[in-house]
Chain A
C-alpha cells in the first residue's frame, strides 16, 4: 500500500455537455501515436517521498490537492490516501493527513499559541504529545506566541500554518504552494524544514510554481492545463531532454534575442537570466558556425557554451508539444 495512489483522475468544472474544460485530466491525444487517448491523471507516491507537482497558476494543482484531501469530488477515476478511498473513506483520510492550503487559512483573531492548541484539540491530541515534530519550526515563531495570527509576517504565517498541519502527526502532508510569494532565502529555509520532516518518515506532496524547487523533490510531475507533461526524478527528466542546449551572450542582449531567433538552424531561443538559451535543429551546426554568424551581424563579446538543461528548459520543451 502506497501513501498516495491516483488512477485516471478527472474533474471538469464545466458541465459535460458544454464542450469546455477547466480542471484536471482532460484527454490528450499524443502526436505521432494513433488513437492513444489518455484520460485522467495517474501517479503514486512512495512512503517518505517528497513528490512535487510543478506548474503555473491554473494548471490544476489545487484541484488535485482538494480531491486528495477529500474536499471536492472527482468526476471519474479513483484515488487512495494511506490506503483509504477519497470518496468512501474520507473520514479516515481527514484524521491522517495534514493540509496546508495555498491561501492562509488559520484563525486571524487567535494568537499563534491558540491556533496551534485549537488544531491539536480538533485532532484529539495535545501540543506536548507531538511537540518533537514541530519543535525546530515552532521555536522560530515562539517569541511571538501571544501575537494574533493576523499580525504575523508572511514567513511567520507560513511557519505557523506548517506547525498546525503537523501537530496531529499526519502520515501524509499536503502542501499547496507553500513558498509562493516567499523570498528566496525563506524559500531555502522552508525546503530544509521539509527535508527534516521527510527524515521523520512523513510523505509529502507539495506543489509549486517555482521550477528551481524541482531539484529539491525526490520525484516531480510537471503539470500544465490539467495534464501531466511528465513524471520522474528531476535528474531523469533533465536526462531525457534530448537536444543540444547552448547559452549565448553578447554585449547587446536584447538585439541578440531577435537575431538568434532569425537563425534558421536554431529551433528555440529564450531569455534565461544573464544569457539566452537556444536549442539547435541539427548537430552539424556548431558553436563556431554560430560565432561566425553573430560576428558578421556585428555582435561583440559573444560567448557560447553547451550546458545541461534545467527543469525550466524541460518544462518549456515539453509544453510545446502538449
Chain B
C-alpha cells in the first residue's frame, strides 16, 4: 500500500445548508458541517431526528431538496455515482451474506465497489492473512463467531480503500468485548487516514469520536468534541449531553 500523507486540513465531507423535504415535512433542515480526513465523526440524534435521511443524502442515495454536499470531493447531487464508488457502508442490520463463504463475500462486495478483477485475489489473500482468517476463506459466514463477522464486515466495507466509511449503528446487539475490539479497528482505520462517519445509540461510543454532532428535529443543535460538549452542557458524560439536547425535541415521535 503506498504511503499516504495525511493532510489534516483536507475536507472529505462538506455539507452546506443541506435540506430534505418530504411534502410539507422538513426531515433535514439546512444542516452545515465539515468533516476532515481521518476524523472519527459521531452522528447522534433521537429516532426521527433526521439522521438516516442525512446519511442517505451523503451516500448519494437521496437527492437533497436544497443545499449542497461534497463527499470525497464529489457533488452528492450531480455526481452521486462517483460518491458511491468512493465511500464504504456498513450496518449491523445488514452487513454480510450468511450463506456465502468468507472469500465469496469479499469477492461480491469488491465487485460491487468496482475493484479491478485482477486486484481482488491478491488483496483478498493479504486481507485474510492480516486478519488471521486464512484458514476460514471457505467457511460460511453464518458459522463464524460474532467478533469475526464484525471484523470481516468492516474490512469488506473498506476493501476498496474508500476515503470515507459510513457506519450505521455498527455495534447494535454486539457483546461488550467484541464491541470494544470493533472500536479498536475503527481507530486503526482512522490512523490510516480513512474518515469514519458513525451513528450509534451507545453513548459511551460517542466518547470515542473526535467530534460529535447531535441532530434534533432535523437541525444540528450541537457539534464539538465530546470534551467540549461536556463542558458546555455541564455534564458528566455524553449520555447527559444527549439527554439534555434530545429532550428538547418537539417531533421525536410525531413523524
Contact = CB atoms under 8 A, between A and B. Distances in A.
Interface of A: 55-59, 140-141, 143, 153-156, 159, 177, 180-188, 209-211, 224, 254, 257, 270-274, 312, 315-316, 319
Nearest to B249: A185
B211 to A, nearest CB: 14
Contact of B253 (A55, A140, A177): A140
B69 to A, nearest CB: 24
B204 A183 contact: no
Nearest to B178: A56
Given A183-B47, A184-B239, 19 more contacts: A56-B175, A57-B146, A153-B255, A154-B47, A181-B47, A181-B169, A181-B172, A182-B47, A183-B46, A184-B46, A184-B243, A184-B246, A185-B46, A187-B201, A209-B173, A209-B174, A257-B184, A273-B203, A315-B176
B201 A184 contact: yes
A186 B243 contact: no
Nearest to A154: B47
Interface of B: 45-49, 146, 169, 172-178, 180, 183-184, 187, 191, 201-204, 207-208, 226-227, 237-239, 242-243, 246-247, 249, 252-255
Contacts of A177: 173
Contacts, number: 99
A211 B176 contact: yes
A312 B237 CA distance: 16
Nearest to A211: B176
A55 B175 contact: yes
Contact of B252 (A55, A141, A155): A155
Contacts of A257: 184
A56 B174 contact: yes
Contact of A153 (B180, B242, B253): B253
> Which 4 pairs, one residue from A and one from B, show the smallest C-beta to C-beta distance?
A56-B175, A57-B173, A273-B204, A273-B207
Contacts of B173: 56-57, 177, 180, 209
B39 to A, nearest CB: 14
Nearest to A187: B201
Given A184-B239, A257-B184, A274 B246 contact: no
Given A56-B174, A181-B172, A154 B203 contact: no
B201 A181 contact: yes
A17 to B, nearest CB: 18
B175 A224 contact: yes
Given A153-B253, A254-B187, A271-B180, A186 B46 contact: yes
Contacts of B203: 184, 273
Contacts of A187: 201
B40 to A, nearest CB: 10
Nearest to B244: A185
